[in-house]
Amino acid sequence: MADDIPFDRTFDLKPGKAEEIAPGVRRLLADNPSPFTFKGTVSYIVGRGRIAVIDPGPDDARHISALLDAVHGETVTHIFVTHTHRDHSPAAARIKAATGATVVAEGPHRAARPLHTGEAVRLEASADMEFRPDLSLPDGEVVSGDGWSLEGVATPGHTANHMAFALRDSEFLFCGDHVMAWSTPVVAPPDGAMSDYMASLHKLAQRAETVYFPGHGGAVRDAPRFVAHYIRHRAGRESSILRRLEKGAADIPTLVRAIYIGLDPRLVRAAGLSVLAHLEDLVARGIVATDGPASISGTYRLVSG
Ligand SMILES: [Zn+2]
What are the φ and ψ backbone dihedral angles of 21, each rounded to 5 degrees?
-110, -15
Nearest alpha carbon to residue 55 among 79, 86, 29, 23: 79
Name the β-bridge partners of 302. Answer: 288
Q: What is the model's pLDDT at position 1?
A: 43
Q: What is the model's pLDDT at position 143?
A: 98
Cα 97 to middle of ligand 1, angstroms: 24
Cα 39 to middle of ligand 1, angstroms: 14
**Sequence-ordered list of residues with C-beta below 8 angstroms from that of 291, at least 6 positions apart, any chain:** 298, 299
Cα 273 to middle of ligand 1, angstroms: 14
Cα 177 to middle of ligand 1, angstroms: 5
Kindly state the DSSP code that residue 15 receives in the 8-state scheme: B
**Sequence-ordered list of residues with C-beta below 8 angstroms from that of 62, at least 6 positions apart, any chain:** 16, 31
Cα 188 to middle of ligand 1, angstroms: 10
3-state secondary structure 210-239: CEEEECCCCCECCHHHHHHHHHHHHHHHHH
Q: What is the model's pLDDT at position 125?
A: 77
pTM, two decimal places: 0.94
CA–CA gap between residue 303 and residue 72 (Å, rounded): 60
Cα 279 to middle of ligand 1, angstroms: 21
Cα 247 to middle of ligand 1, angstroms: 34
Cα 179 to middle of ligand 1, angstroms: 11
- Residues of the chain with confidence (pLDDT) below 70: 1-3, 123, 305
Q: What is the model's pLDDT at position 14?
A: 94
Cα 84 to middle of ligand 1, angstroms: 7
- The length of the chain, given as a count of residues: 305
Nearest alpha carbon to residue 41 among 63, 72, 69, 18: 63
Cα 85 to middle of ligand 1, angstroms: 5
Cα 141 to middle of ligand 1, angstroms: 22
Cα 185 to middle of ligand 1, angstroms: 8
What are the CA-CA distances from residue 276 to residues 50, 63, 185, 242, 284 (Å)?
A: 44, 34, 14, 13, 12
Cα 158 to middle of ligand 1, angstroms: 7
Q: What is the model's pLDDT at position 192?
A: 93
Q: What is the model's pLDDT at position 177?
A: 97
